[in-house]
Amino acid sequence: MEDDGDRPTWLIEPLGRHHDRAAFSCAKPALDRYLKSQAGQDARRHIAAPFVLVGTPGGKTVLGYYTLSAVGIELGDLPQDVAKKLPRYPIVPATLLGRLAVDRRYRGQGFGEILLMDALHRSFTQSSEIAAAAVLVDAMDEDAWRFYRHFDFIPFPERRDRLFLPMKTVERLFK
């Protein structure tokens, strides 16, 4: 979705009432259902912050979305080589990338990576005001797991579906 000047004609913004959530379908019922019926409530209750990728500034069509929220990681759950570099607090703050999905009509255009990079950048930017040592994801299936591993997320030793990216790694992406 590029215009004649090779500038993006899409925008990532907080989920709003004007966004058409009903038409969104990523072919994963749990992710579709979340956007359609739960995301707005989570935003209003400050449980999660949903962000949507729209086709044009002010657009209504949701091409994809992700959510961010705060989470704590038990220090002992992290790989030993990572844990030894952190303070000995029992719980380490992190940012949870709770959901990430692209509408099936827009797959293959790099929007998953764009959404992920925006989520990581947003997480890094906020980490100076609301501390977070890492970005955490829970991969819902093998496709999601491979997607996050492609971007160097590290699996937890005891939970293969849970992965993280240290904030120091995220920082290097944007410096």
- CA–CA distance from 132 to each of 86, 97, 99 (Å)? 12, 12, 18
Q: Which of 34, 66, 106, 148 is the catalytic position?
A: 148
Tell me the residue ranges of DSSP E strands in the chain: 11-14, 49-54, 62-74, 91-102, 134-138, 154-155, 162-166
**133: phi then psi, degrees, rounded to nearest 5:** -85, -15
Decide if 66 is catalytic. no
Catalytic site positions: 148
